Amino acid sequence: MPELPEVETVRRGLLPVMEGRRILSAEVRRPDLRWRFPDRMSERLTGARVDMLRRRSKYILADLSTGETLLIHLGMSGRMLISGKMLGEFHHDHPAPQKHDHVVLEMEGGARVTFNDARRFGAMDLMPTGAADDHWLLAGLGPEPFGNDFHEEYLVARLKGRATPIKAALLDQRVVAGLGNIYVCEVLHRAGIHPRRKAGAISAARVAGLVPIIREVLSEAIEAGGSSLRDYRRADGELGYFQHTFRVYDREGEPCQSEGCTGTIARIVQSGRSSFYCPVCQR
Protein backbone atom coordinates (compact mmCIF):
# COMPACT_ATOMS: atom_id res chain seq x y z
CA MET A 1 0.00 0.00 0.00
CA PRO A 2 1.39 3.46 -0.84
CA GLU A 3 2.81 5.21 2.21
CA LEU A 4 3.29 8.91 2.90
CA PRO A 5 6.10 9.51 0.36
CA GLU A 6 4.18 7.84 -2.46
CA VAL A 7 0.97 9.74 -1.69
CA GLU A 8 2.86 13.03 -1.37
CA THR A 9 4.58 12.36 -4.70
CA VAL A 10 1.21 11.76 -6.37
CA ARG A 11 -0.21 14.93 -4.80
CA ARG A 12 2.69 17.00 -6.12
CA GLY A 13 2.26 15.49 -9.56
CA LEU A 14 -1.42 16.43 -9.58
CA LEU A 15 -0.90 20.01 -8.39
CA PRO A 16 -0.18 21.63 -11.79
CA VAL A 17 -3.29 20.19 -13.43
CA MET A 18 -5.77 20.27 -10.54
CA GLU A 19 -5.13 23.03 -8.02
CA GLY A 20 -6.86 26.26 -9.07
CA ARG A 21 -8.65 24.54 -11.98
CA ARG A 22 -12.25 23.48 -12.46
CA ILE A 23 -13.45 19.95 -12.97
CA LEU A 24 -15.27 20.30 -16.29
CA SER A 25 -16.81 16.86 -16.01
CA ALA A 26 -16.58 13.89 -13.68
CA GLU A 27 -17.40 10.40 -14.92
CA VAL A 28 -17.99 7.73 -12.28
CA ARG A 29 -17.99 4.31 -13.94
CA ARG A 30 -19.03 2.08 -11.05
CA PRO A 31 -20.98 2.48 -7.81
CA ASP A 32 -18.14 1.66 -5.44
CA LEU A 33 -14.55 0.73 -4.80
CA ARG A 34 -13.70 -0.42 -1.28
CA TRP A 35 -16.85 1.39 -0.16
CA ARG A 36 -19.73 2.96 -2.05
CA PHE A 37 -19.08 6.28 -3.70
CA PRO A 38 -21.06 9.20 -2.22
CA ASP A 39 -24.46 9.96 -3.70
CA ARG A 40 -24.44 12.08 -6.88
CA MET A 41 -20.63 12.21 -6.85
CA SER A 42 -20.38 13.03 -10.54
CA GLU A 43 -22.88 15.88 -10.23
CA ARG A 44 -21.22 17.27 -7.08
CA LEU A 45 -17.75 17.29 -8.66
CA THR A 46 -18.67 18.66 -12.09
CA GLY A 47 -18.09 22.41 -12.25
CA ALA A 48 -16.27 22.60 -8.91
CA ARG A 49 -12.90 24.35 -8.71
CA VAL A 50 -10.10 22.68 -6.77
CA ASP A 51 -9.07 25.46 -4.40
CA MET A 52 -6.40 23.43 -2.60
CA LEU A 53 -4.87 19.99 -3.03
CA ARG A 54 -3.38 18.76 0.23
CA ARG A 55 -2.41 15.56 1.99
CA ARG A 56 -3.34 14.14 5.39
CA SER A 57 -1.44 10.97 6.28
CA LYS A 58 -1.96 8.61 3.32
CA TYR A 59 -4.97 10.50 1.94
CA ILE A 60 -5.16 13.19 -0.75
CA LEU A 61 -7.69 15.92 -0.01
CA ALA A 62 -9.05 18.25 -2.68
CA ASP A 63 -10.82 21.25 -1.15
CA LEU A 64 -13.49 22.39 -3.61
CA SER A 65 -15.13 25.74 -4.30
CA THR A 66 -18.48 24.13 -3.41
CA GLY A 67 -17.52 23.86 0.25
CA GLU A 68 -16.87 20.14 0.01
CA THR A 69 -13.64 18.17 0.10
CA LEU A 70 -12.89 15.16 -2.07
CA LEU A 71 -10.99 12.48 -0.17
CA ILE A 72 -8.87 10.10 -2.26
CA HIS A 73 -7.31 6.92 -0.88
CA LEU A 74 -5.17 4.91 -3.29
CA GLY A 75 -5.52 1.61 -1.45
CA MET A 76 -3.34 -1.28 -2.58
CA SER A 77 -3.20 -0.60 -6.31
CA GLY A 78 -4.86 2.76 -6.97
CA ARG A 79 -3.25 5.20 -9.41
CA MET A 80 -4.06 8.81 -10.25
CA LEU A 81 -2.82 9.18 -13.81
CA ILE A 82 -2.59 12.35 -15.90
CA SER A 83 -2.99 12.51 -19.66
CA GLY A 84 -3.39 15.22 -22.29
CA LYS A 85 -1.13 17.74 -20.56
CA MET A 86 2.46 18.84 -21.02
CA LEU A 87 4.51 17.14 -18.31
CA GLY A 88 8.02 18.52 -18.55
CA GLU A 89 9.03 17.75 -22.14
CA PHE A 90 6.48 15.00 -22.61
CA HIS A 91 2.88 15.04 -23.73
CA HIS A 92 0.74 12.13 -22.58
CA ASP A 93 -2.12 11.65 -25.04
CA HIS A 94 -5.44 10.49 -23.65
CA PRO A 95 -5.27 6.68 -23.64
CA ALA A 96 -8.15 4.41 -24.58
CA PRO A 97 -10.37 3.63 -21.56
CA GLN A 98 -9.02 0.78 -19.48
CA LYS A 99 -10.96 -1.88 -17.60
CA HIS A 100 -10.03 -0.50 -14.18
CA ASP A 101 -10.48 3.22 -14.93
CA HIS A 102 -13.19 3.90 -12.34
CA VAL A 103 -13.31 7.71 -12.04
CA VAL A 104 -12.31 10.13 -14.81
CA LEU A 105 -11.96 13.89 -14.23
CA GLU A 106 -11.73 16.20 -17.23
CA MET A 107 -9.91 19.27 -15.96
CA GLU A 108 -9.91 22.86 -17.10
CA GLY A 109 -6.79 23.33 -19.19
CA GLY A 110 -7.02 20.06 -21.08
CA ALA A 111 -5.73 17.50 -18.60
CA ARG A 112 -7.53 14.30 -17.75
CA VAL A 113 -7.05 12.71 -14.33
CA THR A 114 -7.98 9.04 -14.14
CA PHE A 115 -8.35 6.99 -10.97
CA ASN A 116 -7.37 3.46 -11.97
CA ASP A 117 -7.60 0.72 -9.34
CA ALA A 118 -7.28 -2.92 -10.36
CA ARG A 119 -7.85 -4.40 -6.90
CA ARG A 120 -10.52 -1.88 -5.89
CA PHE A 121 -9.17 -1.32 -2.37
CA GLY A 122 -9.06 2.43 -2.96
CA ALA A 123 -11.76 4.89 -1.99
CA MET A 124 -13.23 8.30 -2.69
CA ASP A 125 -15.57 10.29 -0.50
CA LEU A 126 -17.03 13.79 -0.26
CA MET A 127 -17.50 15.72 2.98
CA PRO A 128 -17.98 19.31 4.15
CA THR A 129 -14.57 20.99 4.13
CA GLY A 130 -15.12 22.51 7.55
CA ALA A 131 -15.72 19.07 9.04
CA ALA A 132 -12.98 17.20 7.15
CA ASP A 133 -10.93 16.58 10.30
CA ASP A 134 -13.93 14.75 11.77
CA HIS A 135 -14.25 12.29 8.88
CA TRP A 136 -14.09 8.74 10.20
CA LEU A 137 -10.90 8.01 8.25
CA LEU A 138 -9.11 11.13 9.55
CA ALA A 139 -10.46 11.79 13.04
CA GLY A 140 -8.10 9.51 14.96
CA LEU A 141 -4.89 10.32 13.13
CA GLY A 142 -1.79 11.51 14.96
CA PRO A 143 0.36 14.48 13.92
CA GLU A 144 2.06 14.75 10.54
CA PRO A 145 5.78 13.84 10.62
CA PHE A 146 6.73 17.22 9.12
CA GLY A 147 4.29 19.21 11.26
CA ASN A 148 5.03 21.33 14.31
CA ASP A 149 3.04 19.00 16.56
CA PHE A 150 5.44 16.13 15.90
CA HIS A 151 8.56 16.77 17.95
CA GLU A 152 10.93 15.05 20.35
CA GLU A 153 8.97 15.78 23.52
CA TYR A 154 5.74 14.59 21.95
CA LEU A 155 7.15 11.25 20.80
CA VAL A 156 8.89 10.57 24.12
CA ALA A 157 5.62 11.20 25.97
CA ARG A 158 3.55 9.04 23.57
CA LEU A 159 5.88 6.04 23.84
CA LYS A 160 6.65 6.27 27.54
CA GLY A 161 5.73 3.05 29.34
CA ARG A 162 4.36 1.31 26.24
CA ALA A 163 4.95 -2.44 26.16
CA THR A 164 4.26 -2.72 22.43
CA PRO A 165 7.23 -3.30 20.08
CA ILE A 166 8.69 -0.09 18.68
CA LYS A 167 7.88 -1.26 15.13
CA ALA A 168 4.17 -1.53 15.97
CA ALA A 169 4.22 1.76 17.90
CA LEU A 170 5.55 3.70 14.91
CA LEU A 171 3.04 2.02 12.60
CA ASP A 172 0.20 3.18 14.88
CA GLN A 173 -1.42 6.01 12.91
CA ARG A 174 -2.64 7.52 16.18
CA VAL A 175 0.98 8.11 17.18
CA VAL A 176 2.28 9.53 13.90
CA ALA A 177 0.38 9.75 10.62
CA GLY A 178 1.55 8.29 7.35
CA LEU A 179 4.33 5.91 8.35
CA GLY A 180 4.11 2.42 6.86
CA ASN A 181 6.07 -0.81 6.94
CA ILE A 182 8.80 0.12 4.45
CA TYR A 183 9.84 3.38 6.04
CA VAL A 184 9.60 2.20 9.65
CA CYS A 185 12.04 -0.60 8.77
CA GLU A 186 14.40 1.95 7.24
CA VAL A 187 14.05 4.37 10.18
CA LEU A 188 14.77 1.72 12.81
CA HIS A 189 17.85 0.55 10.93
CA ARG A 190 19.29 4.06 10.78
CA ALA A 191 18.49 4.48 14.48
CA GLY A 192 20.10 1.16 15.40
CA ILE A 193 16.96 -0.03 17.19
CA HIS A 194 15.71 -3.63 17.00
CA PRO A 195 12.09 -3.77 15.76
CA ARG A 196 11.09 -6.04 18.67
CA ARG A 197 12.35 -3.69 21.38
CA LYS A 198 9.55 -2.56 23.66
CA ALA A 199 8.84 1.10 22.95
CA GLY A 200 8.74 2.01 26.63
CA ALA A 201 12.09 0.36 27.31
CA ILE A 202 13.99 2.60 24.87
CA SER A 203 15.72 5.58 26.44
CA ALA A 204 14.17 9.01 26.00
CA ALA A 205 17.27 10.18 24.14
CA ARG A 206 17.01 7.38 21.57
CA VAL A 207 13.25 7.92 21.13
CA ALA A 208 13.84 11.65 20.63
CA GLY A 209 16.48 10.79 18.04
CA LEU A 210 13.85 9.02 15.97
CA VAL A 211 12.14 12.30 15.04
CA PRO A 212 14.87 13.71 12.77
CA ILE A 213 15.55 10.25 11.33
CA ILE A 214 11.86 9.84 10.41
CA ARG A 215 11.90 13.19 8.65
CA GLU A 216 15.18 12.40 6.92
CA VAL A 217 13.99 9.05 5.55
CA LEU A 218 10.65 10.46 4.38
CA SER A 219 12.30 13.49 2.76
CA GLU A 220 14.73 11.28 0.84
CA ALA A 221 11.89 9.03 -0.30
CA ILE A 222 9.79 11.98 -1.51
CA GLU A 223 12.78 13.38 -3.37
CA ALA A 224 13.16 9.98 -5.07
CA GLY A 225 9.49 9.89 -6.07
CA GLY A 226 8.58 7.19 -3.56
CA SER A 227 9.18 3.45 -3.74
CA SER A 228 7.74 1.41 -6.63
CA LEU A 229 6.87 -2.05 -5.43
CA ARG A 230 4.28 -3.96 -7.47
CA ASP A 231 1.58 -1.42 -8.45
CA TYR A 232 2.71 2.06 -7.43
CA ARG A 233 3.20 4.68 -10.16
CA ARG A 234 3.61 8.43 -9.96
CA ALA A 235 0.95 10.68 -11.48
CA ASP A 236 2.95 10.89 -14.72
CA GLY A 237 2.97 7.09 -14.94
CA GLU A 238 6.67 6.79 -14.08
CA LEU A 239 8.18 4.67 -11.31
CA GLY A 240 9.58 5.98 -8.06
CA TYR A 241 13.11 4.85 -7.32
CA PHE A 242 13.71 5.03 -3.55
CA GLN A 243 13.60 1.21 -3.53
CA HIS A 244 17.07 1.27 -5.06
CA THR A 245 18.44 2.85 -1.87
CA PHE A 246 16.77 0.59 0.69
CA ARG A 247 19.22 -0.32 3.44
CA VAL A 248 17.18 -3.17 4.90
CA TYR A 249 13.71 -3.49 3.41
CA ASP A 250 13.40 -6.58 1.17
CA ARG A 251 17.16 -7.24 1.51
CA GLU A 252 17.05 -10.44 3.56
CA GLY A 253 20.38 -12.30 3.39
CA GLU A 254 22.34 -9.33 2.05
CA PRO A 255 25.16 -7.55 3.92
CA CYS A 256 24.29 -4.70 6.26
CA GLN A 257 25.25 -1.34 4.76
CA SER A 258 26.06 0.36 8.05
CA GLU A 259 29.70 1.42 8.14
CA GLY A 260 31.83 -1.17 9.91
CA CYS A 261 28.97 -3.62 10.46
CA THR A 262 29.52 -7.27 9.54
CA GLY A 263 25.88 -8.27 9.95
CA THR A 264 23.47 -9.80 7.44
CA ILE A 265 19.94 -8.49 6.98
CA ALA A 266 17.32 -10.76 8.56
CA ARG A 267 13.53 -10.91 8.35
CA ILE A 268 10.95 -11.60 11.02
CA VAL A 269 7.15 -11.34 10.92
CA GLN A 270 5.39 -8.94 13.28
CA SER A 271 1.59 -8.67 13.24
CA GLY A 272 1.51 -10.22 9.77
CA ARG A 273 4.10 -7.81 8.32
CA SER A 274 7.71 -8.50 7.41
CA SER A 275 10.30 -6.62 9.43
CA PHE A 276 13.79 -6.38 7.93
CA TYR A 277 16.66 -5.51 10.25
CA CYS A 278 20.32 -6.15 11.07
CA PRO A 279 20.71 -8.37 14.15
CA VAL A 280 24.24 -7.04 14.70
CA CYS A 281 23.81 -3.25 14.72
CA GLN A 282 20.14 -2.98 15.73
CA ARG A 283 19.69 -3.59 19.44
Dihedral-angle region of residue 136 (phi above 0 means left; psi in -120 to 50 means alpha; beta otherwise): alpha
Question: Distance between alpha carbon 81 and the CA centroid of its chain, in Å?
Answer: 16
Spatial CA neighbour of 27 closest among 98, 100, 101, 128:
101
* Cβ(248)–Cβ(277) below 8 Å: yes
99 tagged catalytic: no
DSSP-derived pairing of the beta strands 68-73 and 59-64: antiparallel
196 tagged catalytic: no
58 tagged catalytic: yes
Q: Could you say which of 3, 6, 68, 186 is catalytic?
A: 3
Angle at CA of residue 210, ends 258 and 188, nearest 5°: 45
Q: Contacts for 149-155 with beta carbons within 8 Å, 24 or more apart? A: 150/176, 150/211, 151/211, 152/207, 152/208, 152/211, 153/208, 155/207, 155/208, 155/210, 155/211
2 tagged catalytic: yes
Q: Could you say which of 21, 49, 162, 273 is catalytic?
A: 273
Q: Could you say which of 11, 58, 233, 251 is catalytic?
A: 58
User: Would you please indicate which residues are annotated as catalytic (active-site) residues?
Assistant: 2-3, 58, 273
